[in-house]
Each structure stands twice: as C-alpha cells, then as structure tokens.
C-alpha cells in the first residue's frame, strides 16, 4: 500500500529504527526525502546516507547515530505540517525548537532548510518537522 504522506512515512521509519536499536535502514527514494535526510546529517542526527539503485527502485540507505551508551541521537522526531493540516509560517514567526537546541525543517521557496537558516535568509515556509 502506498503511503499518502511519504515524509511522515520516512520519519516514522527513522523513529522506529532508533527505538528498535537498528544500525541502518532504507526508505524509498524521493528528492524531498533526500534533502530532509541531508539536513539531518548536517545537523548531526544521523551518521551518513547514500542513494542505492540496486533494485528496480531507488532507495536511500541511512546509517543511524547513537552515543556511547547506545542512546539515539534523536530524542523526538515529529511531523508538524500534514496533508490534512498544512502549517505555514512567515519569516518573523518561525518557532524556536527546545530553546534553540532542536531543529525544525521548513520547505521554502528556496528549498528545504532549517528554521535557523530560514530566519537568517528572512523567508518563511511550511514547517515539515521538528527534531531534538
């Protein structure tokens, strides 16, 4: 069955893999998911990722990140804007996640970026998710 919200499906797969203690996972490829995962890597929430074209479909292989005590690098990974309820913010009302310790990812006219970068560039957009 195809997911009606592929971004939420990707975030859920990552969350479930962390809870199960897996080292890695694969998600079906899409450009927006690749950008989302690239931001997670830049922000230090996952170790690495790569695009696999081994089978009939492209996939993103993600290597998860844990600390020395095997605690996941991500404590919370939550979808904010959903297909049934889109959440848009202007440049002046981008929320700060966990007092600046967390990250929110926005879809803007300039592509996917963190809330911090969007504030710096003075553009708003749709809040896709928040992570800490």
Summarize pLDDT for 13-51 with one digit per residue, the tens. Answer: 999 999 999 999 999 999 999 999 999 999 999 999 999
DSSP-derived secondary structure letter, 109: T
pLDDT at 2: 60
Burial per residue of 56-90, b for 16 or more beta-carbon CB atoms within 10 angstroms, e otherwise? eeebbebebbeeeeeebbbeebebbbeeeeeeebe
Residue among 15, 29, 71, 25 at smallest CA distance from 48: 25
pLDDT at 117: 97
Task: Say whether pLDDT at 1 is over 60.
Answer: no
**Would you list the domain boundaries of the chain?**
6-64, 77-131
What is the CATH architecture of 6-64?
Answer: 2-Layer Sandwich (3.30)
- SS3 of 76-108: the string is CEEECCECCECCEECCCCCCCCHHHCCEEEEEE
CATH 1.20.120.420 fits 77-131, yes or no: no
pLDDT at 55: 79
pLDDT at 3: 66
pLDDT classification of 54: cutoffs 50, 70, 90: confident
């Amino acid at each position: 069955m195809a997911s009606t919200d592929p971004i939420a499906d990707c975030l859920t797969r990552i969350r479930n893999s962390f809870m199960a203690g897996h080292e890695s996972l694969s998600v079906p490829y899409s450009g927006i998911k690749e950008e989302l995962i690239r931001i997670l890597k830049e922000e230090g929430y996952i170790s690495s990722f790569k695009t696999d074209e081994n089978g009939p479909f492209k996939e993103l292989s993600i290597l998860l990140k844990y600390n020395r005590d095997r605690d996941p690098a991500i404590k919370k990974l939550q979808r904010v804007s959903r297909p049934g309820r889109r959440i848009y913010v202007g440049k002046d009302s981008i929320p700060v996640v966990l007092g600046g310790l967390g990250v929110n990812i926005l879809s803007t006219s300039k592509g996917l970026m963190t809330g911090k970068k969007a504030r710096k560039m003075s553009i708003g957009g749709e809040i896709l998710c928040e992570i800490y």
